[in-house]
Structure 1
Amino acid sequence: MRSTTTLLPLVALLAKLSTAGYVLQDDYGNSDSFFDKFTFFTGSDPTHGFVQYVDQATAENAGLIHASNGEVYIGVDHTNVASGSGRQSVRITSTNSYTHGLFIVDLAHMPGSICGAWPAFWMVGANWPNNGEIDIIEGVNQQTNNAMTLHTNEGCTIDNSGFTGTLVTSNCWINAPGQSTNAGCSIDSTSSQSYGTGFNNAGGGVYATEWTSNGISIWFFPRGSIPADISSGSPDPSTWGTPAASFGGSGCDIDSHFGAQQIVFDTTFCGDWAGNVWSSGSCASLAGTCQDYVANNPSAFAEAYWYVNSLKVYQDTAESTIIAHGPGNVTSTHSTTAPVPFARTHRIRRHGHGN
């Protein structure tokens, strides 16, 4: 029998860990070094977009990226008629990958609600969809409200409770019967300030994503409503109220469907979502096809840029310590891996979501 003296330090440690909360793991900063923590994807767009993703040197020379005055700019070409594979843009993937955590991005600006544009801020695991995908910010064309979506392999469905958004689809499996291919489980924000032009007109805001074994939750805070604990660097999700989206319930074992994830920013054009819904919305009056409009109207994309005030990743100290020092062969919550070159090959989205 273990002595009381031996047990007391362990009990004290566990009590301390249970209340420790989140601590900063990675601060991506808002200077030129921001881009050193990402790789630039330069292949053909797996979502069949009318886009030419460029490398870092090309992006810098063309003015598509820069960091100044405490903000990181990630934009697209908005001065030249596009030809060939499409309009120049940037897609970057974090070098670091994460399992669980609290991911907080403060944006002064995101790409506006622009016909032909398809921006996204998201996370993705290797061997898609077996390690899952978390779409935190995503939309197309003149969309006004943010779409938050998970994509997984078979066996993950979510409850229609615990969030303020509107449930669109509940089965996260990319081949779920009764849903469009790759629809995933999706929740739309009810706030017109959560995406695109409405977000920018409100001065931007913060998206916070908490990923634990119990579920994945996403909060959106407009500029004037950002919790003080986020601003002070001591975030406490338990005080934030009901999230905009919450993916969980007995129908999905989160740890079985989500492995290490990398963070991605990108803006593409047309393709499997924005292009496929072109004819069903008001954008169709601008040009016969999405590609024609994107190619020949460069000035329309002057607002298709991200302005990142900050990007920070926090880890729960209790969870991280237990993982680091627990028994058996347990993988760390933080690793550095190669970029995922095939990510977003799946994004043939449901029709009718975009405008």
Structure 2
Amino acid sequence: MHFATLFASLALFSATGWAAYVLEDDYFSGNFFDRFAFWDSEDPTHGFVEYQGQKAAADAGLINTTSSGVYMGVDHTNESPTGRPSVRITSNKSYNTGLVVIDLAHMPGSICGAWPAFWMLGPNWPNGGEIDIIEGVNDQVGNKATLHTGPGCSIEQSSDYSGSLKYTTCPSGGDNNNGCQIADDETNSYGTNFNAGGGGTYATEWTADYISVWFWPRGSRPEDVLGDLPNPAGWGTPFAKFQGDCNFGRSFKDQQIVFDTTFCGDWAGNAWGNSACASKADTCEAYVQNTPEAFTEAYWSINALKVYSANGGSASSISTYVATTTSTAYVTQPESSYVAQTTMPTVFPTTLAISTKSTEYPPLPHSTSPVDNSSPSETGTSYVPILESDGSVGYASDTASSPPTNTGGGGGWFSNSNGVVGYSGGHGHDSRDLEAETRDRHARHLKAHTRHGKGRL
């Protein structure tokens, strides 16, 4: 097999291999609520709410599952001096990168005092990250997507999304809880206007390099979005694309899916006096307590919720079959090894082994580095070209070890005593350089945290 064929195969995989996703979880394939845990403790965001357990919520008519969808609402009948009964649920399963798609017939309306959200949450907030996909308060008319992280993440303005950049620094905690935020300029993306249009579909793609969020009003969703093999490359411009000085694979991990509707609290309560809602009551809590009929439309009606993984990979590994014109290859990349890398490969972060069933090495390109072109002493052995995660390319026998890791800025051909021949390609920086750069970048961000706003736990 020629190197030209090898690199042509790599180029094809790089261009197309990561575009498609496969279904990992369909939350409508069984009992929807059995896949979630019900939060029945105090609201971490200090809302005027009484979250109900699953049985209490079902008995009160706050949750229901029918053939047409899933309903989650709030009490809209009784005055509630200790907080309005509602529901907050968290998925039993957590995810590491992927694609989350939800189709909604209805979300809580733009109601004074209400603070609904569909979001994802990692452990040890904010260090595990938080992805707010749908969120708003009071009489808000457009959706706002927000990220919260530990130190070391910021996003930048770009033409890759259609929304409006509100905040660029993602680290949260203490008094600095705005996170980084992009608002959808379309007024039918949230609340009352969303419901008036018959609802719509949200898709969130999360990779190590970016997090994108799309919204399609009813009737405009691309055909493959909820299909077996959705491909975000054909979906057009998202309203939000978070990218910049951040590794989104490290800053967001073990994310669980969350639905909730709370009231007042750290955001809706604090914003009460600055909205038209202030004319309805002196305080947010007084309005929520004494006006149950205002919350008839404060419910979620879900048509579909699916989670997809890239190329069939699970939360711990990604495995994909690749065919070339001359051989068969299998590509496997555990996520744990991907996250631990200090340098990114020039093609993609996998180890590619393509069997050519050859007993001789092909001629190697000219190199000023010494190289042993002799064949190993064993006979009848198959040799395979390999592309390691550090960018090195070479040949190995079935029993040979991997090429040595390149830690310098240059590269050269090498041969090992165990029969490995290859080229160790340089990346321009070693791991010590990158670690120093990372420390400096984190220090810069820690000095920039001066914003105030909402928070999640």
Of residues 58, 61, 68, the one that matches 2:59 is: 61
Q: How far apart, CA to CA, are the structure 1 residues paired with 2:125 and 2:306?
A: 25
Contact 1:103 1:208 in 2 (8 A): yes
How far apart are the structure 2 equivalents of 1:287 and 1:329? 52
Q: Name which of 80, 87, 104 aligns with 1:90.
A: 87
Match for residue 254 of structure 1?
Answer: 248
The 5 Å alignment of 1:285-324 reads 285-317=279-311, 320=314, 323=318
For the pair 1:193 / 2:188, whether they are aligned, the reply is yes
d(CA) in 2 for partners of 1:29, 1:326: 30
Listed as ranges, the matches of 1:1-355 within 5 Å are 15=13, 18=17, 21-29=20-28, 33-84=31-82, 86-161=83-158, 162-174=160-172, 181-249=176-244, 251-317=245-311, 320=314, 323=318, 325-326=332-333, 330=337, 350=453
Structure 1 alignment gaps of length 5 or more: 333-347
Residue 252 of structure 1: how far off its partner (Å): 1.1
Q: 1:131 Cα shift?
A: 1.2
Distance 1:62 1:349 in 2: 37
Matched position secondary structure for 1:300 = helix
CA deviation map 1:280-300 (0-9, x unaligned): 111011111100100011110
Deviation at 1:328, TM superposition (A): 9.5
Maintained 8 Å contact 2:18/2:310: no
User: Does the 8 Å CA contact 1:167/1:186 hold for their aligned counterparts?
Assistant: yes
CA distance in 2, matches of 1:266, 1:349: 22
Gapped regions of structure 2 (runs ≥ 5): 320-331, 340-450
Q: Aligned AA for 2:290?
A: N
Q: CA deviation at 1:349?
A: 6.5
Structure 2 CA distance for partners of 1:328 and 1:82, relative to 1, 3 Å: closer
- Closer, same or farther: CA 19–267 of 1 in aligned 2, 3 Å: closer
State the Cα RMSD in Å: 2.7
Given that 2:38 and 2:90 are in contact with CA atoms closer than 8 Å, whether structure 1 keeps it comes out as yes
- CA deviations 1:202-224 (Å, max 9, x no partner) are 10000000001110000000002
Q: Residues 327, 316 of structure 1: CA spacing in aligned structure 2 closer, same or farther, 3 A cutoff? A: closer
Please state whether the residue corresponding to 1:230 is helix, strand or coil.
Answer: coil
TM-score normalised by structure 1 residue count: 0.85
Q: In 1, Cα distance between the equivalents of 2:17 and 2:271? A: 48
TM-score by length of 2: 0.67
From the superposition, tell whether residues 323 and 145 of structure 1 become closer, same or farther in structure 2 (CA, over 3 Å). same
In structure 1, how many angstroms separate the alpha carbons of the residues matched to 2:282 and 2:29? 40
Give me the identity figure in percent: 54
Cα offset, 1:231, TM superposition: 4.4
| Aligned partners of 1:22 and 1:235 also within 8 Å | yes
Instruction: Kindly indicate whether the alpha-carbon contact (under 8 Å) linking 1:110 and 1:305 is maintained by their aligned counterparts in 2.
Output: yes
SS in 1 for 2:298: coil
Alpha carbons 2:74, 2:87 under 8 Å: kept: yes
- For residues 65-87 of structure 1, the C-alpha deviation after alignment (integer angstroms, 9 at most, x for no partner) is 00113210000000111022x00
What is the distance in 2 between the residues matched to 1:273 and 1:322? 38
Instruction: Tell me how far 1:329 sits from its aligned partner.
Output: 5.8
Distance 1:330 1:37, change over 3 A: farther
**Cα deviation, residue 319, structure 1:** 5.5
1:331: Cα distance to partner?
9.3
Q: SS of the counterpart of 1:224?
A: coil
Distance 1:349 1:47, change over 3 A: farther
**Whole-angstrom CA distance in 1 between matches of 2:88 and 2:335:** 38
Runs of 4+ with >6 A deviation: none
The aligned amino acid for 1:91 is: R
Q: Deviations over 1:9-64 (max 9, x none)?
A: xx69x949826711100000076x00000000011001110000000000000000
Task: Report the Cα distance in structure 1 between the residues aligned to 2:164 and 2:238, rounded to whole angstroms.
Answer: 12
Q: Distance in 1 between matches of 2:186 and 2:336?
A: 44
Question: CA separation of 1:108/1:131 partners in 2, compared to 1, >3 Å: closer, same or farther?
Answer: same
The residue type paired with residue 200 of structure 1 is: N
The total of aligned residue pairs comes to 326
Per-residue Cα deviation, 1:259-317 (whole angstroms, up to 9, x for no partner): 11000000000001101111111101111110010001111000000000010000111
Q: Residue type of the partner of 1:312?
A: K
Point out the structure with max Rg over C-alpha. 2
| SS, match of residue 224 in structure 2 | helix
